[in-house]
Structure 1
Amino acid sequence: MTGLLHPFEKNTLDAMRRRRLVHVGPVLGVAVSGGPDSVALLHVLHALQPFLSIQALIVLHYDHGLRGEDSAADRRFVEELAGRLGCEVIVGGGDVRGFQRDHRMSLEMAARLCRRAFYMEVMRRRDLHRLALGHTADDQAEEVLLRLCRGTGPGGLRGMQVETAEGFLRPLLWASRAEVLQYLSDTGRSFREDATNLEGFCQRNRVRHEVLPLLEKIFHPRVRQVLCRHADLAAEDDEYWARQVAEAWGRVVLAEGSDVVVFNALGMQALHRALSSRLFRQALKKIGFSTGIFAVHLQALEGLLQEAPSGRQVILPAGGRAFREGFTVVLTKRGEEPPVGESREMFGPGRYPLPEFRAEIAIQELAGQKVRIGEADPWTVLMDAHAVLWPLKVRTVRPGDRFRPLGGPGSKKLQDFFTDAKVPRTARRRIPLLCDGEKICWVVGYRLDDRVKVRDGSRTVLHIQWRPLG
């Protein structure tokens, strides 16, 4: 049956099988601009439907509104092509120049983000799990070169992925643009040529029409293939590091959420910088920094691990920040948070969830046992059970709070303690305080109150552990 396929179609099927892209689901979205790459992609996938168990193709076309009548002609071309192939077509559009102006970015980046938002919205609305894009090996070579010149990290040198977590597929990443054009010529398929692809208004066009031809002339006639092979090798390395990051994540991350990740600074210090920097990248990605993070930011984050005092901050793009708090490094996209008030009362040993503090506290009573705590653990303390007046509760700072810091000469204002400990003002209002019926027993993560310390004559001890949760 494959004998009926054009060699280009058969090679695409073989490449999809090698990359395990054959289980794409009964309905597959295809992004079609009208240019040669996307038109070839649509024809190839239409021919491969029986081999991929695809019941229907849905064509997505985005009108950038940048080329006047030419843009409208592109849309009509795509609609007519989809109609001839029996495919549903969904057209979107937007004010790309307005988006560029409002967000102060290049026109190329604005077009990419607007187009991507359209794709994601259609995939969500139509429950599409996969969307095929028409990027080729030439696009991959351009991408690797651009990333290298912009200063990407090792992971970025893998270029574009054949399949992404969002569901984007690139079945033609194996093929050169020359092979795409030859396929269209052999089969007599027409396409639209975007005149702006020949203009030098963006970096990618300059790389495509000036830089790569010059490199081919001076260094290597197959420099595009060399760059693509480098991307494949980088992808293999990146897969290895992804496993290392996943394994280390559970050891050094104390808490995580949609807009915050808290690292154990001591645990991160013990890691090789190649791994800690990747953990920082992963954390930034989790809280929404998909772009705008460069080597200078990662170097500054590494600086927070090197005996940085509490209160030191790193300003990140888009309103984000990172700061050192005691034994932790916090990465967040949110601004200052209001105090969360106080927890419910705790009337004895047990495990208590504290959702308002994104944590839980475990209280265990120990009698006649010798217990030691690791010196570097700021989240676990021992208290003399007979020095605690039940019930306990957790609250945040109030004006005029005082306590007796362990090892200190006497009573001290909590604000003065924070100042001496170099705790940033924005963080003070959120630090939990474990209190009994008459006093602050523990400034969590920082200092125990001297009145509840374990003494030589203590018969019963409370082992208390604070556990930040995602």
Structure 2
Amino acid sequence: MLKKIQNHINEQFSFIKNAKLLIAISGGVDSVVLAYLCKKLGLNISLAHCNFNLRGDESDADEDFVLQLAKDWELEVFIENFDTKQFATDNKLSTQMAARTLRYLWFKELKAQLKFDYVLTAHHADDNFETFLINLSRGTGLDGLLGIPQVNGDIVRPLLPFAREDIEQFAKQQKLQWREDSSNVSTKYLRNKLRHDVIPILKEINPQLLQNFEKTQQYLNDAKSIINDRVDEIAQNIVSKAKNNSKAFSISEIQQLNNSKAYLYELLNGYGFTQWNDILALLTAQSGKQVFSKTHRLLKDRAYLILSEIISVPDESIKINESQNLVLTPFGKLSISKGATKGKAQYNTAYFDLSSLSFPLTIRKWQEGDVFYPLGMKGKKKVSKYFKDEKFSLLDKENTWLLCSGDDIIWIVGHRTDNRFKVKSNTKEILKIMLQ
């Protein structure tokens, strides 16, 4: 086993040889063997153990075991205790998902604080096959059938090709001690039911099950690679940059493709969407229709689908005092200077007659019923009508802010100033505001 893992690391994970590594260790046979192998290979490792406090004294005994193991092996160890049930309740998660979330958040924190290069976990071939079956049983696309990746960012899984049976046999040969998790016996969880009731039958039918599964995984990954190449190719004609760091997807180009839904899935996979029928319906929907994920929003805007990140912004207004010369806002920095010479008006620069302004100035989002007097025009205009005439999308409107003096709008920031506050021939002092 030592020789096999050594060859595997040389071939697939040479980048961890001189890296600072954090090993996730539960006390179970898989993580104990991983730590033992890495120690034998002379890698620079420390241990990290999560006590999720889900099994009472048994959880504390796991923690004590890991502490003693680290002492015996002369390894640095980090321990963290979690109130997993409370976290699950607060965040409306299953206990298993809560534990997973807490685990990886803590690993990320440790890695950042102590400059670890990678986190190693002890997932193995049986875990990978179980994940495949879980995803298959729930309904999944190709990504769900690819199983657990060997490398996912800074998470590395060196034992993924090895079967649980081989790992346990190696541990016994080396006379290693480990802890058994009693919750792994219960079949109330889907993973355990597959592990104890389903997979043994499949292995009995075909003793080469895991080896054949590994081949299947390779074929699926090859297919995914071909798909990615094709999607990258068509994306050049479909996807373009839009305002406010958003992306625009050409509806006409998408509609020319065979199986638009499949292409939309590949183009938008990774942004948290699940309502793929609703997304497909956006292609023929009225402008303004939207589909949301937890992190992103997809908006139908005339000939495009606009993808943007959901960013929470303060509802309250921002005040600008007369003495300020720099103001940080959700949309950028405002540089403010008095006594400036009037230059050419640009989208990001506005000039005002200082004497006409009442401080503090206010920055706020637009509201229905807002009116202003556009520079260069006679009379007033509703802001909503201005948006319509300028062909603002819903996303453009939501990202537009107003600069006000008292109740009066003096600038639709980045777009148009108000005629009432313009620099005149008798203006004594100019206020210049630049959006950076």
Query: Does structure 2 retain, via aligned residues, the 8 Å contact 1:309–1:422?
Result: no
Aligned-partner Cα distance in 1 for 2:64–2:417: 73
In structure 2, the partner of 1:16 is: 9
Q: CA deviation at 1:262?
A: 2.3
Aligned-partner Cα distance in 2 for 1:397–1:102: 34
SS, match of residue 269 in structure 2: helix
Q: CA deviation at 1:244?
A: 4.9
In structure 2, the partner of 1:43 is: 36
Matches within 5 A, 1:270-309: 273=260, 274-282=262-270, 284=271, 289=272, 293-294=273-274, 297-304=275-282, 306-309=283-286
Matches within 5 A, 1:129-278: 129-165=117-153, 167-217=154-204, 220-245=206-231, 252-255=239-242, 261-266=246-251, 267-269=253-255, 273=260, 274-278=262-266
Q: 1:132-173: per-residue Cα shift (whole Å, max 9, x none)?
A: 1111100010011111222222122111111111x1111111
Cα distance, 1:402–1:254 mapped onto 2, change above 3 Å: farther
From 330, 343, 347, the counterpart of 1:393? 347
Q: CA deviation at 1:23?
A: 3.7
In structure 2, the partner of 1:325 is: 301
Query: Does structure 1 retain, via aligned residues, the 8 Å contact 2:371–2:381?
Result: no
In structure 1, the partner of 2:361 is: none
Q: Which amino acid aligns with 2:182?
A: A
**TM-score, normalised to structure 1's length?**
0.67
Aligned-partner Cα distance in 1 for 2:398–2:19: 52
Cα distance, 1:256–1:277 mapped onto 2, change above 3 Å: farther
Query: Does structure 1 retain, via aligned residues, the 8 Å contact 2:19–2:117?
Result: no
Q: 1:267-303: per-residue Cα shift (whole Å, max 9, x none)?
A: 5545564443222113x1xxxx4xxx43xx2332233
Q: CA deviation at 1:435?
A: 4.7
In structure 1, the partner of 2:321 is: none
Moved more, 14-23 or 77-86: 14-23
Aligned-partner Cα distance in 2 for 1:334–1:164: 26
SS, match of residue 329 in structure 1: strand
Cα distance, 1:427–1:315 mapped onto 2, change above 3 Å: same
SS, match of residue 123 in structure 1: helix
Query: Does structure 2 retain, via aligned residues, the 8 Å contact 1:135–1:173?
Result: yes
Matches within 5 A, 1:65-80: 65-80=53-68
Cα distance, 1:393–1:243 mapped onto 2, change above 3 Å: same
In structure 2, list runs of 5 or more residues that go unmatched: 319-328, 333-343, 351-364, 375-379, 401-411, 420-436
Query: Does structure 2 retain, via aligned residues, the 8 Å contact 1:321–1:331?
Result: yes
Q: 1:72-111: per-residue Cα shift (whole Å, max 9, x none)?
A: 1111111111222221111112111111111222111111
Aligned-partner Cα distance in 2 for 1:156–1:253: 28
Query: Does structure 2 retain, via aligned residues, the 8 Å contact 1:325–1:423?
Result: no
Matches within 5 A, 1:57-96: 57-96=45-84
Q: Which amino acid aligns with 2:209?
A: V
Residue 100 in 1 paired to residue 92 in 2? no
Aligned-partner Cα distance in 1 for 2:14–2:257: 35
Q: CA deviation at 1:248?
A: 5.7
Across the aligned residues of Structure 1 and Structure 2, the Cα RMSD in angstroms comes to 3.7
Cα distance, 1:81–1:41 mapped onto 2, change above 3 Å: same
Cα distance, 1:112–1:397 mapped onto 2, change above 3 Å: closer
Q: CA deviation at 1:434?
A: 4.8
In structure 2, the partner of 1:34 is: 27
Aligned-partner Cα distance in 2 for 1:45–1:60: 14
Query: Does structure 1 retain, via aligned residues, the 8 Å contact 2:298–2:305?
Result: no
Aligned residues: 362
Cα distance, 1:255–1:77 mapped onto 2, change above 3 Å: farther
Q: Which amino acid aligns with 2:196?
A: H
**TM-score, normalised to structure 2's length?**
0.71
In structure 1, the partner of 2:377 is: none
In structure 1, list runs of 5 or more residues that go unmatched: 1-7, 342-354, 359-389, 404-410, 439-470
Q: 1:420-450: per-residue Cα shift (whole Å, max 9, x none)?
A: 9997767534368755997xxxxxxxxxxxx
Query: Does structure 2 retain, via aligned residues, the 8 Å contact 1:60–1:89?
Result: yes
Question: Identity rate of aligned residues, in percent?
Answer: 25
From 315, 323, 337, the counterpart of 2:292? 315
Aligned-partner Cα distance in 2 for 1:322–1:336: 18
Q: CA deviation at 1:243?
A: 4.7
Aligned-partner Cα distance in 2 for 1:75–1:230: 38
Query: Does structure 2 retain, via aligned residues, the 8 Å contact 1:402–1:414?
Result: no
Cα distance, 1:310–1:124 mapped onto 2, change above 3 Å: same
Aligned-partner Cα distance in 2 for 1:429–1:171: 47
Q: Which amino acid aligns with 1:17?
A: N
Q: CA deviation at 1:188?
A: 1.0
Q: 1:50-79: per-residue Cα shift (whole Å, max 9, x none)?
A: xxxx3x210111111111111111111111
Aligned-partner Cα distance in 2 for 1:26–1:250: 37
Matches within 5 A, 1:423-442: 428-430=397-399, 434-435=415-416
